[in-house]
Amino acid sequence: MLRVWVLGTVVLAVAVAGLAGAAVLAWPTVGIAASPTGLANVSLPGYAGHVEQVSVIGADGKEVPVGVRRGVVWPHVRLTAGERVAVTVEVRRPSWIGWLVGRHAERKETLVTPVAHVRSTFLRPKRGQVVAVRFAEPVSRVRIGRSTHPKLGAGRSVVPLGVVAAGAASTGTRTVSVAARRWETLSEPVRVSWFVAGARTRLVSDPAVGSRLRPHGALTLTFAQPVAEVLGSRLPLLQPAVPGRWKQVDTHTLTFQPTGFGFGLGGTVRARLPGQTLTWTAAQGSTLRLQEILARLGYLPVRWRPAADPPPTIATEVSAAVSPPPGTFSWRYPKIPPSLRELWKPGHWNVVTQGAVMRFEDEHALAADGVAGPQVWRALIRDDLVGRRVSAGYSYVFVHETVPQSLSLWHAGRVVLTSPGNTGIAQAPTAPGTWPVFEHISVGRMSGTNPDGTHYDDPGVRWISYFHGGDALHAFPRASYGTPQSLGCVELPEDAAAQVWPYTPIGTLVTIES
């Protein structure tokens, strides 16, 4: 009898264990699935318990703040399309079954946020038809160019570009950024181009022909016919030559991505194609950034200190040329002549900046025209990257026309020379104002016409610095100095002119004041 009782107890225990195991296996678990609107759908029968907590971990390993409404998980921050996220749901089961299947359960799933795709980036609308872009799935947010469609309802798969294919709009291009869900960030722009059959324009470019190129921005050409039919094996020829490479995006589209100094700053870029030449202008470098670099290299009477130093690369320097970083200017010397102080204006083109550019150009064997073109910017950036600075101090000349007339040479914070001098007579006055020296020669010939119509020819004039037209600082023998006697020049005694000349290279400012 005892053996029967023991056997029955064992059988019952096995049966109960089997039922418990079956209950654990068969008891409903929480379901996690992709949602057509939110990040995820969470499902759980009412009798199976309730959701206690939902957590989401993004691709960067950080927790994503979310909320749950009616079984839908909604992110509280923007997520990127195609991002892998880990969704974890914790469930608390009823007490009446918890003793058997466990009071808590956890389910984890990895989901990928949806990605919206443009069906075709090459469109062939009919004349008079609204140009529209089609997506492979409904989208919730779209940006066309710089305009964002505020509401697309539950999502649309066809979105008009806001253009009717007629007249000048028979061909064109737009950039399109899209998000499949309203809680996603917009995608990188996709370029969509269209051509109406029979349209005279057979090519569209982005940026448009005649507009401005960003230094490192891509240049895209889309042809009405396949690239192979239009160009064969040849690629467009860029002039002047630009470092970078062409890439064929699709059968109709080529993109050029510049490298190095890119398209340059302030120049003209041409693309030569069979039967036509396309022209763009390169973005100008800013005056403020030009002053920042010139100051840092020692070509200005001010110094510049950046708020933060970006990584010293060509790419960051070129970018800074267009969008200058913040910083502060300060005078390099304690005593600045008032007339020079009044000329300096940060962020504005002025004669101080012009003179510094001319001096830099002369130092680098460039035409000293005072214009910061592509060659000047390249040389400036190279010098800035390697820290090539000028060691000589800043010089400035100011001439007083009040009798007794005199010239003062200021250099590196102090007046190093003052000398009597002669300016122009009433019939040929010396022009008032401030001018940069544009020619600097130790000896030369001066000739011209006197006010009475006679001609003069003076060979062997020494220590010449031309600063405005035919006006120059130079040595000239006179019985006396300090009164108007010249034909517009500033005449100096030989010894004074010899001392001034080394301090007045091309770009040095000369102020004529009363």
How would DSSP label each residue in 17-72? HHHHHHHHHHS---EEEE-SSSSEEEE--GGG-EEEEEEEE-TTSPEEPEEEETTE
- For residues 219-227, give the mean pLDDT: 94
Q: Across the strands, what pairs with 174? A: 192
- Tell me the per-residue pLDDT of 264-290, one tens digit each, with 9 for 90 and over: 999 899 999 998 999 999 999 999 999
135 in Cβ contact with 201 (< 8 Å): no
Q: Which residues does residue 195 pair with via DSSP β-bridges, in sequence order? A: 171
Kindly provide the residue ranges of all beta strands, DSSP E only, lying in 188-336, ordered along the sequence: 190-195, 203-206, 212-213, 219-223, 237-239, 244-250, 253-258, 268-273, 276-282, 302-306, 327-331
Task: Report the pLDDT value the prediction gives residue 12, as an integer from 0 to 100.
Answer: 45
Domains of the chain and CATH, by start: 29-112 (2.60.40), 115-201 (2.60.40), 203-279 (2.60.40), 287-386 (no CATH), 395-513 (2.40.440.10)
What b-and-e string marks burial along 470-494, b requiring 16 or more CB atoms within 10 Å of the CB?
ebbbbbbeeeebbebbbbbbbbbbe
484 CB-near residues (< 8 Å, 6+ apart): 401, 405, 422, 423, 424, 425, 426, 429
- Predicted pLDDT of residue 93: 62
Phi/psi for 212 (5° steps) reads: -100, 135
pLDDT cut 70: percent of the chain above it: 89
**For 107-111, 195-199, 335-339, 423-427, which range has the lowest pLDDT when averaged over its residues?**
195-199
| Confidence check: pLDDT of 211 > 60 | yes
pLDDT (mean) for 360-375: 96
Predicted confidence (pLDDT) per residue in 387-406, tens digit: 999 988 999 999 999 999 99
Q: pTM for the complete prediction? A: 0.77
Task: Report the candidate in 112, 119, 378 with the shortest Cα–Cα distance to residue 265.
Answer: 378
Distance CA 425, CA 378 (A): 44
What pLDDT band is residue 311 in, cutting at 50, 70 and 90?
Answer: confident
> Hey, what are 51's tokens?
């959701």
Which stretches does DSSP call E strand in 346-470? 395-400, 406-411, 414-420, 433-436, 439-449, 455-468
Q: How many residues does the chain have?
A: 514
CA 377, 381, 386: angle at the middle one, nearest 5? Answer: 155
- Tell me the average pLDDT across 464-484: 97
**Which burial class, exposed, middle or buried, applies to 499 when counting CB atoms under 10 A from its CB (0-12, 13-18, 19+)?**
middle
> Are 393 and 411 within 8 A, CB to CB?
yes
The answer to whether the CB of 427 falls within 8 A of the CB of 451 is yes
